[in-house]
Structure 1
Amino acid sequence: MTATIDILDRPILRIRETCEMVGADEKFNRALPELETYLEAEVAAGETSETRLTYHGLCFLKQTFEKY
């Protein structure tokens, strides 16, 4: 049995667009698997707000980009 988490589509799209606007699309592509895992954990913890998922995802990427 497989399930698709559609709630992540919109936040990831918004984060992708934000990264493209600031020229960080290459970093975004490298960090995407980690971002998806992070956001899935947020949803599993009960977060369902697309706005909050987007914000938390951007904060996560900020920390992740510092590693690259």
Structure 2
Amino acid sequence: SYPVEVVDTTGAGDAFNGALAAGLASGLNLADAARRGTAAGALAVTRKLVVPALPDAGQISKLMKNRTACV
């Protein structure tokens, strides 16, 4: 997971699953797709409301590049 300030957890699982599926569909292996899913879930909880909180691919990549995930 990524250390973030949690605002609303609604949609975190949806963000994770969407990014995981998109990663697998684009050819990523399961581990890398799961990392993208984890980043998407982390970003989703930093905002209110489900749809506006869902991150896009650029936001996910930026978080993964600029922060280290914790286990």
Q: Map of 1:48-67 to 2, 5 A cutoff?
A: 48-49=50-51, 53=54, 56-63=55-62, 64=64
Alignment correspondent of 2:24: 20
Q: Report which of the two has the higher share of helix.
A: 1
Matched residue pairs, number?
56
Q: Note if contact 1:39-1:57 (Cα within 8 Å) is conserved in structure 2.
A: no
Q: Percent identity?
A: 5
After superposition, the CA RMSD in angstroms is 2.9
Rg larger in 1 or in 2? 1
Note the C-alpha offset of 1:10: 2.1
Give the Cα separation in 1 of the matches to 2:36 and 2:20: 11
Unaligned stretches of 5+ in structure 2? 1-8
What's the TM-score, normalizing by structure 1?
A: 0.50
Is 1:41 matched with 2:46? yes
What's the TM-score, normalizing by structure 2?
A: 0.49
Give the Cα separation in 2 of the matches to 1:17 and 1:62: 15
